[in-house]
Amino acid sequence: MRYLFVLGRNLELSIAEVLNFLKRFDNPSKGYLKKKNAILVEVSKKIENNAIEKLGGVVAIGEVIEDPDKAVLYSGIKNKLNYVIWNFSENVDKFANYLKNRFKEERLKAIKKTLTGSIDSQEGKKFRTIHSKLIDEQYFVFDDLFGKIIQNCDYEEIEKRDMEKPVRREALSISPRLSKIMINLSQIKKGKLIDPFCGIGVILYETLLQGIGVIGIDIDETAIKGVKRNLEWGEFKEENYKLIRADSKRVRIKGGESIVTEPDLGKILKKTPQDEEVNSILRNFEKLMIGVLNNLKKEVSGRIVFTSPYIKRKSCNINEIASKTGLRLVEGPFPEFRENQVVGREIFVLSR
């Protein structure tokens, strides 16, 4: 089976997420092709109907239609529809004419619309995306393949749960989008996820939504109280999560599968720091992570995914962290930043 994944703003990170997501759910890619901001992936079995709800770096998912003449292309009850075609091919006109004639034969009043939205990629490119809510069907052309979009990201729902939760720390919290990406990079299956810098619990929340148990640790009492309120607001069962106020360099826990976390990235910077300050922030981060990972690495059987400060395009010394913890870098770094942002992130994936 072949699926199209329309990627988000960070193409490299989104591709890594999709490939790890498929491995995570025992449906690894047999190979993929990339065009513009999309990849076409071949897998051995059907993906789940709510797959996009577990993906943070994917805009839409489409399925290749092997024989369009035998497929139902429109299942609506009205006799008119608005549709768009995502174009990842030089042969789009052939399929556009096919659709036009097909709808005419089926006596449908079908109006082809254009993609009016846009995504500014981290790489500096602009890609078209769907914007209108008045679209009934979405199709795609990828090289000589034709298909239909079957799942779309519900940005409104994601924003709603992010903005309406009772405790927010806008300047310090990781986004639901990035949280889901990191969860997939961890390839966690059924064990517990450990977040040793849980803050107000965004990563914990997104993990619990997927039916995975969590252990959240933070040295800040206010943060622990905040995450408890947020998880209660989410109506998660208490037996599925454990919250601990402690120093993650010393805490004692057992029974984790993966670590996924955003550590303290340093103080909030409003202007570009001097090199000396940048180096100090990065060295302090390295020291923090070495201490935490040496304490917790024996308690996890799977991957360790974390963010680090990315300042003036300078990175932490991941080789130093790996060397002093006995871990190895298996994926990354994946830079994650926005234009004019003083402090960005890099994402690393380590394993024993």
Give the pLDDT confidence of 45-63 residue by residue, as tens digits.
Answer: 999 999 999 999 999 999 9
Read off the pLDDT of each residue in 290-310 and give the average, rounded to a whole number.
Answer: 96
Residue 123 has pLDDT above 90, yes or no: no
Q: In this structure, are 175 and 131 located in the same domain?
A: no
Q: In this structure, are 118 and 249 located in the same domain?
A: no
- Choose among 251, 174, 242: nearest CA to 213: 242
Burial class (CB in 10 A: 0-12, 13-18, 19+), 68: middle
- Choose among 18, 41, 3, 40: nearest CA to 151: 3
Report whether 298 contacts 304 (CB < 8 A): no
The count of residues in the chain is: 352
- CA–CA gap between residue 194 and residue 203 (Å, rounded): 10
What are the tens digits of pLDDT across the range 10-51? 999 999 999 999 999 999 999 999 999 999 999 999 999 999
Residue 197 has pLDDT above 70, yes or no: yes
Burial class (CB in 10 A: 0-12, 13-18, 19+), 174: buried
Q: In this structure, are 177 and 103 located in the same domain?
A: no
Q: In this structure, are 147 and 165 located in the same domain?
A: no
Neighbour tally for 11: CB within 10 Å:
21
The residues that bridge with 116 in the sheet, in sequence order, are none
What are the tens digits of pLDDT across the range 54-90? 999 999 999 999 999 999 999 888 889 999 999 999 9
- Angle between helix axes 11-24 and 176-186 (nearest 10 degrees) is 50
- CA–CA gap between residue 95 and residue 101 (Å, rounded): 10
**Residue type for position 47:** I
- From 132, 153, 174, the end of a domain falls on 153
Report whether 327 contacts 303 (CB < 8 A): no
Give the rounded percent of residues in the chain with a pLDDT score beyond 90.
85
**Strand, coil or helix: what is 335?**
strand
- CA–CA gap between residue 281 and residue 277 (Å, rounded): 6
Q: In this structure, are 84 and 167 located in the same domain?
A: no
- From 108, 125, 153, the end of a domain falls on 153
Q: In this structure, are 167 and 147 located in the same domain?
A: no
Read off the pLDDT of each residue in 228-246 and give the average, rounded to a whole number.
Answer: 97
Q: Domain count for the chain, please give it.
A: 2
- From 105, 137, 153, the end of a domain falls on 153
Domain holding 25, by residue range, is 2-153
CA angle 224, 226, 228 (to 5 degrees): 70
What are the tens digits of pLDDT across the range 174-188? 999 999 999 999 999
- CA–CA gap between residue 309 and residue 303 (Å, rounded): 20
Task: Give me the CATH number covering residue 247.
Answer: 3.40.50.150
- CA–CA gap between residue 213 and residue 191 (Å, rounded): 7
What are the tens digits of pLDDT across the range 308-325? 999 888 999 999 999 999
- Residues 6 or more apart whose Cβ sits within 8 Å of residue 254: 299
Q: In this structure, are 55 and 190 located in the same domain?
A: no
Question: Dihedral of CA 215/220/224/229: which sign?
Answer: negative
- Residues 6 or more apart whose Cβ sits within 8 Å of residue 268: 171, 172, 343
Q: In this structure, are 145 and 165 located in the same domain?
A: no
Task: Give me the CATH number covering residue 39.
Answer: 3.30.2130
Residue 229 has pLDDT above 90, yes or no: yes
pLDDT, residue 265, reads 81
What are the tens digits of pLDDT across the range 208-222? 999 999 999 999 999
Could you identify the residue written with the tokens 């006995």?
Answer: 326
Q: In this structure, are 211 and 315 located in the same domain?
A: yes
Read off the pLDDT of each residue in 251-268 and give the average, rounded to a whole number.
Answer: 88
Half-sphere exposure of 29 (CA within 13 A, CB side): 17
Q: In this structure, are 118 and 167 located in the same domain?
A: no
Q: In this structure, are 308 and 205 located in the same domain?
A: yes
Q: In this structure, are 177 and 286 located in the same domain?
A: yes
With b for 16 or more beta-carbon neighbours within 10 A and e for fewer, the 14-23 pattern comes to bbbbbbbbbe
